[in-house]
Amino acid sequence: MTTEVLQQLLQWQSDCDVYEPALPTVFAWVLWENFGYLARPANKFKAWKTWVNSVGIRPQDILRVDAQTQESALHVGILPQNDLAKIRKAAELAMSRWQGDPDKILGLSRDQAIRALREFPSIGLPGAEKILLFLGKYPSLAPESNGLRVLQRLGWISNLGSYSALYKRAQEFADALSEDPSALQTYHRRLKFLGQTICKAKRPSCGKCPLDSFCPKAGVKADV
Ligand code: SF4
């Protein structure tokens, strides 16, 4: 059953691969994770392209370009000023701790790398593991909140009481699924996008869901 559902997820025609870009560096990922909090994926991606062209994705760029240019590029999400403050803080940390090159983190052991990544604003354990996944180091599913919700509703993981227990269960489930980094990246993207756009917390659109025929929660109304 799991294989069938995953196949269905892979065949799903959606824009998820368009709106979550492949990024080249640790700092670009830190920037992306702090960019456009709770913005719609399409709006975030559009603003991101403007930011890349007008500001840049290196810590040096963030510290060099004036605040007004940054504000006009980052105008999406519910807390853009907050995002900008965190992005500047991340750039300062990248310069002071990593001499402008946080890719040095990729040479550390897994635990050390996760600790170092978690020093950046907004990067918790899922964010740190996601950055490592997409940069080809220590791959895991690294599901964020939207993906976790889908996994729960499909009945693949159960709520064990705390977020950390739920996250750990999802990682164990994914370990048995695949060790292939590109497969894990695809599952991560698709689960996240499905949770953001269709399997929403309050009113999931089960009628539009590619997995509805497999899902025990199809038609659910509340946050489950
Ligand atoms: S059928 Fe509904 S509850 Fe199940 S995964 Fe799809 S959107 Fe979510």
pLDDT in tens, 101-147: 999 999 999 999 999 999 999 999 999 999 999 999 999 999 999 99
> 78 CA to middle of ligand 1, Å?
26
Query: Which of 134, 163, 192 is a domain's end point?
Result: 134
Sole residue written with tokens 């899902």: 215
> What's 42's domain CATH number?
1.10.340.30
> 215 CA to middle of ligand 1, Å?
6
Q: Are 147 and 127 members of one domain?
A: no
Residues 6+ apart with CB under 8 A from 63: 88, 91, 92, 95
Tokens representing 107? 């040479």
Q: Are 112 and 63 members of one domain?
A: yes
Q: Are 96 and 167 members of one domain?
A: no
High-pLDDT (> 70) share of the chain, %: 97
Tell which one of 6, 153, 208 to mutate to probe ligand 1, the residue whose CB is within 8 A of the most ligand atoms.
153
Ligand 1 contact, 151 CB (< 6 A): no
Residue 1 has a pLDDT of 66
Ligand 1 contact, 73 CB (< 6 A): no
Q: How far apart are CA 152 and CA 51, in angstroms?
A: 35
How many folded domains does the chain comprise?
Answer: 2
> 4 CA to middle of ligand 1, Å?
15
Q: Are 125 and 32 members of one domain?
A: yes
Dihedral angle over CA of 212, 217, 219, 224, nearest 10: -130
Q: How far apart are CA 191 and CA 34, in angstroms?
A: 20
Residue 19 has a pLDDT of 84
Q: Is the pLDDT of residue 221 over 90?
A: no
- As a whole number, the mean pLDDT across the chain is 91
Q: Are 44 and 121 members of one domain?
A: yes
Ligand 1 contact, 198 CB (< 6 A): yes
Q: How far apart are CA 100 and CA 84, in angstroms?
A: 18
Domain that residue 62 falls in: 26-134
pLDDT digits (tens, 9 = 90+) for 58-97: 999 999 999 999 999 999 999 999 999 999 999 999 999 9
Q: Is the pLDDT of residue 17 over 80?
A: no
pTM: 0.89
Query: Which of 134, 161, 182 is a domain's end point?
Result: 134
DSSP state of 7: H
Ligand 1 contact, 132 CB (< 6 A): no
Tokens representing 63? 């510290």
Q: In whole angstroms, how large is the CA radius of gyration of the chain?
A: 18
Q: Is the pLDDT of residue 20 over 60?
A: yes
Q: Is the pLDDT of residue 159 over 80?
A: no
Q: How far apart are CA 51 and CA 48, in angstroms?
A: 5
Lowest model confidence (mean pLDDT) among 44-48, 66-70, 214-218? 214-218
Q: Are 152 and 126 members of one domain?
A: no
Q: Is the pLDDT of residue 223 over 70?
A: no
Residue 198 has a pLDDT of 94
Ligand 1 contact, 209 CB (< 6 A): yes
Residue 220 has a pLDDT of 73
Is residue 173 classed as helix, strand or coil in its secondary structure? helix
Atom of ligand 1 nearest to the CA of 208: 7
Q: Are 202 and 223 in contact (CB under 8 A)?
A: yes
Q: What is the mean pLDDT of residues 17-30?
A: 91
Query: Which of 134, 164, 195 is a domain's end point?
Result: 134
The runs of H, that is alpha helices, within 74-162 are: 80-98, 110-117, 125-134, 145-153
Top pLDDT among 90 and 196 is at 90
Q: What is the mean pLDDT of residues 217-224?
A: 69
Q: Are 126 and 88 members of one domain?
A: yes
Residue 48 has a pLDDT of 96
Residue 205 exposed, middle or buried by CB count within 10 Å (0-12, 13-18, 19+): exposed
Residue 13 has a pLDDT of 80
In a domain, 223, yes or no: no
Tokens representing 42? 């399409």
